[in-house]
Chains A and B, each alone.
Chain A
Amino acid sequence: MLADGAMGTMLFQAGLQYGDAPETWNVTHPDAVRTIQRQYIQAGSNIVLTNTFGGTRFRLAMHNLQSRVTEFNQAAVALLRAEVEASGRDDVLVAGDIGPSGEILQPLGQLSFEDAVAGFEEQARALVAAGADVIWIETMSSLDEVRAAFAGARRASADIPIITTLSFDTHGRTMMGVTPEQALQAMTELGAAGVGANCGNGTDELFAAVQRMLATGPSVPIVAKSNAGMPRLVAGKAHYDATPAEMAEYALSVRAEGASIIGACCGSSPAHIAAMAEALRANPAGLAAKPRSEPAPAETAHAATAATDERAARRAARQARESSSAR
């Protein structure tokens, strides 16, 4: 199945100002949002995401818009639903997009698990009520936060399919240090309908993360949604380097590896999705354009260094001294 490409970076091109909340455009510029979604549907996407990535009360609070969660999310679903209907296609799903809260959960940060669940539930309820076909939780980096988002979505609907992807952008792990294998296991246990990787540092690293998930023999469909390279600032605007041809090659290689839901993320455009759709159609499944490397070995514990060993030895000596002086 082909998913869609970027929304946020497309909206910036359409005139959204850096720092402003993209979700407001569901109400203020509905045609701009619909035009992008129409182009993705025409390019061949079967799953299109609503413009609600930052649609939780946590993210909207940055703009003092936290009271408008329901309004923005319902409007977003209505816009996309209207585009899907206008296309006349019956093979396009409306995915209600949920992004990270931007907060760090307790005990490391301030947000309690229960408050996180409630915030995600509020957004998910609006998406479900307005008629989303699936809930799409993406760009996550903390397992606790995915669990909270998943629980919130489940409270909003007992049976809507939930897809979750994390962003493996820091030395092959998420920012919070979660490996692809750990993510897959945790999301499978939650009952996700699909698990995968999105955004990140371009196609090579995304490929590696997806490959590591697939190497464990997953029981759920695997999702790959890479960004079009890393942003560079060119004349005050963020510029992404990956071309449609490069994204097409990436689509073929993640499919050859076994990913079944394929799309793109930041910096991609309908042209990228069209090239990916074309390549996937033209090439019989199972053939990659170029062979890629063997999967990196799974890593579970933190990398050990000589310093790690020395530190552990010192800690053991301290504990021994403490227990002997306590006696």
Chain B
Amino acid sequence: MSEDLSGIPTDELIQNMHDDLYDGVVDGVAAGTNELLRRGLTPSEVMNQALVGGMDIVGVDFRDGILFVPEVLMAAKAMKSGMEILRPLLANTGAEQIGTMIIGTVKGDIHDIGKNLVAMMMEGAGFKVVNLGINCDADKFLEAYREHQPEILGMSALLTTTMPYMDTVIKRFKEEGLRDKVIVLVGGAPLNAAFAEEIEADAYCRDAAVAVETAKKLIAIRRGH
């Protein structure tokens, strides 16, 4: 039998959802998301307080070696169950769409947990996100650019041996005369700001929250706000 949520104070319900994310209880997160919406929280409040807040705890414990990849994957699945409920609502209530982003993991690299989190958070923040998946070569990024005309190109790499491919992609965008038309954001554990500068990306994003902030900030600058 599923838990009766109606009598639980909102603070406690959010706390329970954090626990459900942590323990990878998919149904619990979905049910909590629906209940919070029923109580009148906005989709973005639900996302930030319940889902993102819970994933932050998971992220810290992963970094500290208390949780490992299986738990993070289960937590991401649980988050996805909530996001699936929120996504159509966010698209409706977000009024103006902030912008479009294409994002992919570069050629030779199959790590996508972090990139998918970034994609989810960007969506949550009101961006249209086109997720190109893993092992993306320059042609794939170029093709997607031409098809979707995004404001932002995001690239992820988790291997020291695949980071240099970001440089290849940026050079191809330059050759095609497209580099100045798009904001390039890069991320992934082995990167840093110096590397981003060296390959002439617009910014390095340490985590998903920084990616959202940076994307908003750079779009605003570009639009002359």
Interface residues of A (CB under 8 A from B): 12, 18-20, 62, 102, 104, 108-109, 141, 170-173, 175-177, 230-233, 236-238, 302-303, 305, 307-308, 311, 314-315, 318, 321-322, 325-326
Contacts and interface: CB of A to CB of B under 8 A. Distances in A.
Given A19-B108, A315-B19, A318-B3, A170 B160 contact: no
Interface in B160-176: 160-165, 167
A215 B68 CA distance: 24
Given A18-B165, A233-B163, A315-B19, A108 B1 contact: no
B195 A233 contact: yes
A108 B190 CA distance: 25
B67 A176 contact: no
Contacts of B67: 302
B68 A173 contact: yes
Contacts of A177: 68-71
B80 to A, nearest CB: 13
Given A231-B161, A233-B164, 13 more contacts: A12-B161, A19-B106, A102-B110, A170-B65, A176-B69, A177-B70, A233-B190, A303-B65, A303-B66, A305-B61, A311-B22, A321-B3, A322-B1
Interface in B112-166: 135, 137, 160-165
Given A18-B165, A19-B165, A302 B66 contact: yes
A232 B65 contact: no
Nearest to A303: B66
Contact of A322 (B3, B110, B160, B165): B3
Contacts of B44: none
Size range of the interface on B?
Answer: 20 to 34
Interface of B: 1, 3-4, 15-16, 19, 22-23, 57, 61, 65-71, 73-74, 106-108, 110, 135, 137, 160-165, 167, 190, 195
Contacts of B74: 108
A238 B161 contact: yes
A18 B164 contact: yes
Given A108-B74, A322-B1, A176 B165 contact: no
A171 B3 contact: no
Nearest to A323: B1
Contacts of A233: 160, 163-164, 190, 195
Contacts of A325: 4
Contact of A231 (B137, B160, B195): B160
Nearest to A104: B73
A175 B74 CA distance: 14
A141 B70 CA distance: 11
A177 to B, nearest CB: 3
Contacts of B15: 314
26 contacts: A18-B162, A18-B164, A19-B106, A19-B165, A170-B65, A170-B69, A172-B65, A173-B65, A175-B69, A176-B68, A176-B69, A176-B70, A233-B160, A233-B164, A233-B190, A238-B160, A302-B66, A303-B66, A305-B61, A307-B57, A311-B23, A314-B15, A314-B19, A315-B19, A315-B23, A318-B16
Nearest to A19: B108
A242 to B, nearest CB: 15
A326 B68 contact: no
Nearest to B24: A108
A278 B140 CA distance: 49
Name, among B15, B19, B69, the residue most crowded by chain A CB atoms within 10 Å (CB to CB).
B69
Contacts of B161: 12, 18, 231, 238
Contacts of B135: 62
Nearest to B135: A62
Contact of A232 (B22, B70, B160): B160
Name, among A12, A18, A321, the residue most crowded by chain B CB atoms within 10 Å (CB to CB).
A18
Contact of B108 (A18, A108, A314): A18
A304 to B, nearest CB: 9
A12 B108 CA distance: 13
Given A19-B108, A175-B68, A322-B3, A108 B164 contact: no
Nearest to B67: A302
Contact of B66 (A18, A102, A108, A305): A305
A177 B68 CA distance: 5
Nearest to A315: B19
A231 B69 CA distance: 22
Contacts of A305: 61, 66
Given A109-B73, A176-B70, A233-B164, A171 B19 contact: no
Nearest to B195: A233
